[in-house]
Structure 1
Amino acid sequence: MKQVETYAPPKENGKIMLNANELYCDLDEALRKEVLYELSKLSFHRYPDETSKELIEAYAKVMELDAACILAGNGSDEMLGFLIQYFLGKDKKLYTLQPDFSMYDYYAGMQETQVVKFVTDADGRFDVDAFIEQGREQRVDMILFSNPNNPSGHALSNQELLKIVDAFPCIPVVIDEAYAEFARDSMLKETSNYTNLYVTRTLSKAYGLAGVRLGFLIGNKAMMQTLRPHIVPYNISSVDQKIGAVVLRHASRYQPLIQSICEERDKLYQALANLQTITFYPSQANYLYGRSQRKQAMLKRLQEHGIVIRNYANDDSFRITIGSKEENACIKDLLVAFDKEDTYEIG
């Protein structure tokens, strides 16, 4: 029987939900009306466009890419699972980071693929040369990790990533860029230069479509032509395709929001960087990663105020999504007060 490590999504509920890295605001009224109007014209008795042409062309326009280099899926998760299924299998090795997105383990388990992990520092940093050396020693068959890293928020530069791509020219190197809109660099434009480089993206985070489930796989045009026939037909509903296309028409409206989240993230980090009982790390994503030996007491304090963050059960770490200015100010005040009280008690 296959040994599959299940993915446990956050289930807690509260007044302020900062546990799933979702965009803190929903579609505005004008965009909702446009979506409803477009949905009213759909032929619901017909199967969806299996090529997702309108959606892919809309995304290609926003990202300034060739549409022939893009595949669309039911969230970037589907694209990641597809790549693992296509390239790996029993007796193969997937190479990733520890910690990283647990869905990699889930999909690898479905294929009876061994997962080899390179342990990062507490803040998510790691030595690229040591990573390459271990990968070569283990004779890995695919490299896959998130950048910025989930959960730490640390991001490698394009130069560092290309060093890894160049070091493994004969195996696929997959960069999961679920949070790249909040980062300084992206590997999207590099995909046309390499036949072994793949990038996945999502509309769940920066574009606030977590409830719609839309993601993309970007790679070299020749490789996309090879992979395209293997995608499950009708993998994205007509409704989801249309919603994604409408939102992408207005992609420019999201840029000030993305910039604001980055500014709020950096502001919150600076306000919490010098706490005595809680350690936070710099981030290039829409969240902050932290550790505390007093985590359970901290979680309880936040829960008393209706705030839910992501708790990693096996250690002292946690993750806080960047919310609205008011939500960020609230959590900052609570954590600063908690730290002062706890520091006083320890002293």
Structure 2
Amino acid sequence: MNAMNTPNPLRFIRQDIQSMHAYAIQESAGMVKLDAMENPFSLSPELQQKLGERLGAVAINRYPGGRIDELKQALARYVDLPEGCGLMLGNGSDELISLLAMACDVPGASVLSPMPGFVMYAMGAQLQGLAFHGVPLTADFELDEAAMLAAMREHQPAITYIAYPNNPTANLWDAGVIRRLIAEAATFGGLVVMDEAYQPFSSRSWLDEIRANPVANANVLLMRTLSKFGLAGVRLGYMLGPQTLVHEVDKLRPPYNVSVLNAECALFALEHADVFAQQAAQIREQRAVLIDALGRMPGVTPFPSDANMVLARVPDAQRCFDGLKARGILVKNVSKMHPSLANCLRLTVGTPAETALLISALQQTL
């Protein structure tokens, strides 16, 4: 058979996949890295040594076993898991988002989320062949309650994602509005997934709502991650909610989705939760410093933040991004992500030294 007649080996790869762009990660070698909402603090040499000893003793010749259950129990204690709730682990929140789309892939099912929001909600739906409906936020990045309710009534989405606080806008939305959206989803059996990726920096958690009113939150799942806790490299997310719901999604999880090394790192971090809590407190302090400095810069508008990032509108996002990059500072230019983000940059909150460098570089750039 000659090459001319050989069928294209891409023949069975879906056309929509072939026309997609892969998730882009910026080259950051030698830069002050403030583009990905990572915790900027590394472990102390003492803790590095202790963790190294722990990881060295892990039975990497065996599949993950009982240690994973110990991690689940440790997380359940850490969050004070409400009665009647279950907890499952994911390889980061990204895997949980994929599993949820897979679990809800019934004919006509769709996913709905406010926009701009976390890109993986739409991607998770698309990869599973589900329709995705994005509902624009208001001009000041609040939930548009009327538009959300109208879209929910029209599409009856299987999953409505509500990030609390939101990425990239970093704000917490009105709890009263969220309660009404959850109640609306309940009328047609839709799930609401509260994504609390930035919980360590937030002034509120929906877990308190779940505890106070479990009946009103019977269709709610809560996702968190250890990425913002300080372990972005460990890839560990977890989801909790009514035991019956979590049990169904957990069936889809690959049996060994969390490696023994990831689990051991996470257990180690939970044992030293006070260290990470101090880091989060420092980040919250630096967030206030950054917002204050941005507010004093001509032509710059910082938006309120309950996360470890600050969204700021600048006179010219591309020029500002390039100017910062030329000065060795990498941030995220989100200005093309959504019309409402025109001329916006997303700045990760770093260490005190990094914050000072960012402020100085921004002043020079502007």
TM-score, structure 2 normalization: 0.86
Aligned-pair distance for 1:337? 3.7
Q: Is the 8 A contact 2:149 2:184 kept in 1?
A: yes
1:226 to 2:253 alignment: no
TM-score, structure 1 normalization: 0.90
Aligned-pair distance for 1:198? 0.5
Gaps of 5+ in 2: 1-13, 337-341
Mapped to 2, the partners of 1:92 and 1:3 lie a distance apart of: 19
Partner in structure 1 of residue 47 of structure 2: 31
Q: Once the two structures are superposed, what CA deviation does each residue of 1:287-342 show, in whole Å capped at 9, x if it has no partner?
A: 01122341222122211210000112624222000001111112112223433xxx
Aligned-pair distance for 1:21? 0.5
Q: Once the two structures are superposed, what CA deviation does each residue of 1:5-56 show, in whole Å capped at 9, x if it has no partner?
A: 5452331324200001111111222222222222232222211127821111
Q: Once the two structures are superposed, what CA deviation does each residue of 1:182-233 show, in whole Å capped at 9, x if it has no partner?
A: 1111112444613310111111112x21111001011112322333333210
- 1:211 match: secondary structure: helix
Mapped to 2, the partners of 1:118 and 1:282 lie a distance apart of: 21
Mapped to 1, the partners of 2:315 and 2:298 lie a distance apart of: 11
Residue identity opposite 2:225 in structure 1? T
Alignment of 1:162-177 (within 5 A): 162-169=179-186, 170-177=189-196
Residue identity opposite 1:3 in structure 2? D
1:317 to 2:344 alignment: yes
1:250 to 2:272 alignment: yes
**Identity rate of aligned residues, in percent?**
28
Q: Is the 8 A contact 2:312 2:344 kept in 1?
A: yes
Residue identity opposite 2:199 in structure 1? A
Q: Is the 8 A contact 2:64 2:256 kept in 1?
A: yes
Q: Is the 8 A contact 1:7 1:106 kept in 2?
A: no
Mapped to 2, the partners of 1:203 and 1:6 lie a distance apart of: 27
The alignment of Structure 1 onto Structure 2 pairs a total of residues equal to: 338
CA RMSD of aligned residues (A): 2.1
Aligned counterpart for 1:327 among listed residues 344, 354, 364: 354
Aligned-pair distance for 1:131? 1.6
Q: Is the 8 A contact 1:191 1:198 kept in 2?
A: no
1:8 to 2:35 alignment: no
Alignment of 1:259-278 (within 5 A): 259-278=281-300
Partner in structure 2 of residue 199 of structure 1: 222
Aligned-pair distance for 1:283? 0.9
Partner in structure 2 of residue 344 of structure 1: none
Mapped to 2, the partners of 1:251 and 1:161 lie a distance apart of: 30
Q: Once the two structures are superposed, what CA deviation does each residue of 1:145-194 show, in whole Å capped at 9, x if it has no partner?
A: 32211000011244432222112111110011111211111112444613
Mapped to 1, the partners of 2:93 and 2:317 lie a distance apart of: 31
Q: Is the 8 A contact 1:158 1:186 kept in 2?
A: no
Mapped to 2, the partners of 1:190 and 1:7 lie a distance apart of: 37
- 1:43 match: secondary structure: coil
Residue identity opposite 2:194 in structure 1? I
Shifted more, 316-325 versus 31-40: the winner is 31-40
Q: Is the 8 A contact 1:80 1:200 kept in 2?
A: no
Q: Is the 8 A contact 1:178 1:205 kept in 2?
A: yes
Q: Is the 8 A contact 1:50 1:234 kept in 2?
A: no
Q: Once the two structures are superposed, what CA deviation does each residue of 1:123-143 show, in whole Å capped at 9, x if it has no partner?
A: 421233432233213332220
Shifted more, 212-221 versus 116-125: the winner is 116-125
Gaps of 5+ in 1: 340-347
Q: Once the two structures are superposed, what CA deviation does each residue of 1:64-98 show, in whole Å capped at 9, x if it has no partner?
A: 11596210110011111111110135532211111
Aligned counterpart for 1:22 among listed residues 26, 31, 38: 38
